[in-house]
Amino acid sequence: AQSVTQLGSHVSVSEGALVLLRCNYSSSVPPYLFWYVQYPNQGLQLLLKYTTGATLVKGINGFEAEFKKSETSFHLTKPSAHMSDAAEYFCAVTLNTGFQKLVFGTGTRLLVSP
């Protein structure tokens, strides 16, 4: 069965600093990988996704992630953090089959200080 591991339940950065949120996956077949963001009292919003093709995926709000098969990783990065980036971030995986059952990691809370 597929699964994801997010290292670090909390990550703190200063405004303007690099953001790096880690995600490692486990899947017996080529996976589809996703990053979602959740702001307080709101639903999940898709940041970006990898299905096939280019391994560097660009998403909304300046975020990007790189699929590295050799490392089974899909880390999320942003060159310069903004205060508005403070939220909970979830990595998710699904198999590339017809019915898309998302399996989420436990989440990483990003804290941004001025």
Please tell me what DSSP assigns to residue 15.
T
Give the number of other CB atoms < 10 A from CB of residue 6: 20
For residues 95 and 11, what is the distance between their CA atoms, to the nearest angstrom?
28
**CB of 92: closest distance to other proteins in angstroms?**
7
Residue (of 64, 69, 71) closest to 19 by Cα position:
64
**CB of 36: closest distance to other proteins in angstroms?**
8
CB of 73 or CB of 94, closer to other proteins? 94
Does residue number 106 form part of the binding site for other proteins (CB under 8 A)? yes
Q: Which of 58, 68, 82, 101 binds other proteins (CB under 8 A)?
A: 101
Longest Cα separation, the chain: 44
Q: Which residues bind other proteins (CB under 8 A)?
A: 9, 36, 41-46, 49, 90, 92, 97-107
